[in-house]
Structure 1
Amino acid sequence: MMRILLFLGTNLAVIVVASITLRLLGVEPYLNAQGINFNSLLIFCFIFGMAGSLVSLFISKWMAKRGTGTVIIETPSNATEKWLLDTVEELSREAGIKTPEVGIFPAQQSNAFATGWNKNDALVAVSAGLLNRMRPEEVRAVLAHEIGHVANGDMVTLALIQGVVNTFVMFFARVVAHLVDQFLKSRTDGEGLGFMGYFAVVIVAEIVFGIIASAVVAWFSRFREYRADAAGARLAGSGAMINALARLKAETELPDQMPDTLTAFAITTGRTRKIMERLFASHPPLDDRIRALKEAAYRQ
C-alpha cells in the first residue's frame, strides 16, 4: 500500500505541476483557431503523461526513504540487521537479481515495501513493528514477497501503465476544459473561460480524472500482488507465506492496529465504503490471497 500511495501521489503532483508550468508558458500546441487538434493533443499528453510517470519512477527510492523515514543498513549494528541483510542477499540470489538496499522504517504496524527504477537498483524495507511481532520465517516470507515484486519488474510495469493512464487523464481534462470554454462562449458573447478559467478547469479535471484513473492502477496492483505472493511462496515456502499473511490478517482485526486511510475521505460506514475499498485498494483481501496460495499449494 505504502509503495503505491507514494508513487501515485508523486505522479499526480508531477502532472499538476507540469500542467501549471506549460499553461503559464503558453505551451499548448494542440489549440488553434479552429479548435483542438486531437492528434496533437494526444501526442502532447502522451509525452508529458509518460514523463510524469517516469519521473515518479526514477525518484521512487528517494521519495520512499524520506516519506517513511527509512534508515538504510550500511553496516549491521546488531544481529537482527545482519540477519536482514543476509536474508535479502540470499533471496535476491535465488531470484536472480542484484541485492537491493535494505532498510528499516519506524512504524509500529507490520508493513514492508519494495521500490526502485529497475530490478538491479531497488530498495526493500520493513517496519520495526513487523520485526518485533513476526517470527523469523514469517519475516523471511514477507521479504521474499517484496523481492518477488522487484524480480517481476512491478514498479517499471506500473510506471508504464501509469504513463498511459496519465495520457488519457490529461487528454480528457483538456477536452472538458475546451468544451466548457466553447459552451460559455456561446452564452457570453465569446468571452468563454479566459486564461485563468481554462487553467482552473484543466487542473480540477486532472485531479478528478486522476483519482478515478487510480482505480485502474489499483486493479493492476492487486493483480501483481498475487504474483508477488506466488514468488514469496516459491522463495520462502508456501507455509511461511500463508502464515505471514495470516499474521497480517490477525493484526487488521485488532482495533487501532492498522491505519484507516479511507477515514480521511469521510468514508466510514456502509455500502459506499465497501465499494470504495474494492475500487481503490492496492492489495486484494488477505483472505483471497491466502486462499490463492492454498489452492496453488494443493495443485502442486
Structure 2
Amino acid sequence: MSGNNELYTNINYNNVYTSGFRTGNLILEQWKLSENKPLKDFISNTTQLPEADSVSTISNTELSAPVSSDNFVIRLRGYIIPPVSDKYVFNIAGKDSCILLLSNDTSVKNAKVIALVNQATSPREWAKADEQQSDSIYLEAGEKYYIEILLKALSNENNLAVAWSSSMFSKEIIYDQYLSLPEIEITDTTDTTIIDTTDTTLIIDNIIDKNISIYPNPVLNHLTVKINELVNNSFTAIIYNNIGSKVFEYDIKDKITRLNISNLKSGLYILQIKNEKNQWLFKIYKL
C-alpha cells in the first residue's frame, strides 16, 4: 500500500454474496475503437485502460454468436480451475486477431502470452497456424489460474473460442464449472477506509445475517436496500465498478432506501454496506 490515503484491497467476487448471481463466469469487457490501437495495448498488466464501454459476464470461453458490431476489442478475464492435476494444452481460434494469456497463479502480473491468432480463422479452426496452440502447461487440480482472452474484430463477421485438453480429456471449450470471476483491486485515493475481506467481522451472506437485504438483482435503475435493525447506527452504501473505482456513495438513514443508480453503465459492481462495526459486500448486476 502506497501512502495513508489509499484504499487498496482485493475483493474476491466468489466470497461476496451473489443474491442469485452465478459465479462460474468470466468478466466480458468491450471497447469500441475510435482509432486503430493494437490488441496488445488491451492486456491488463501492460497499460491503464479507459473504462470499458460495456461489461457483462460469459459462462464459457466461446462467443456463442458474432458480436453485432465492428472495430471493437473484447476482453475475457477471470480464473480457470482445472479438474485434474495434469499437463494442459490450450488452443485459440478467432477473427480477426486474438491473444491468450495464462498466469502460473491468480496474479494478473504473472500472466504470459501462451497462444495467438495472427491470421483470422473460422469458428473452432484450431490448427490454421502453430501459434494458436500453447506448449504443455502443468496445472494443479482445484487451484485458480488467471486467464485472459482478447479479440480484436474489424467487422461483424467475428468469432472467438478457447479450448483446453489434457491426457484425461480431449479438446473442449472451458465451461462454467471450471471458471471463476476475478478479484477486483480497489484503489481510491479519496477514501481512507480499507476493505479487508479476510476480516472475521465481514458478513458476506444474508442467509447468515438477515439484517440487510438488497433487491432486485439484476437491477435496472433503482436498487432497494433494506436494513431491519437500523436503530441509531449510521450506514453508508458504496458501489465500486469492475476496475475498483468508487462510482456511487450514499448515507442510509431509513430502514428501506432506494438507490438511484440509473446513471451507471451496464455491468458487474460491488455494493458495500458498512457501519462502524461491520460491512456487507454484495455483487450486483446493472442492466
Q: Same fold (TM over 0.5)?
A: no
- Structure number with the higher helix fraction is 1
Larger gyration radius, structure 1 or structure 2: 1
What interval of TM-score do these two structures reach, taking the shorter chain for normalisation?
under 0.3
Q: Which has the higher contact order (CA 8 A, sep 6+)?
A: 2
| TM-score normalised by L of structure 2 | 0.25
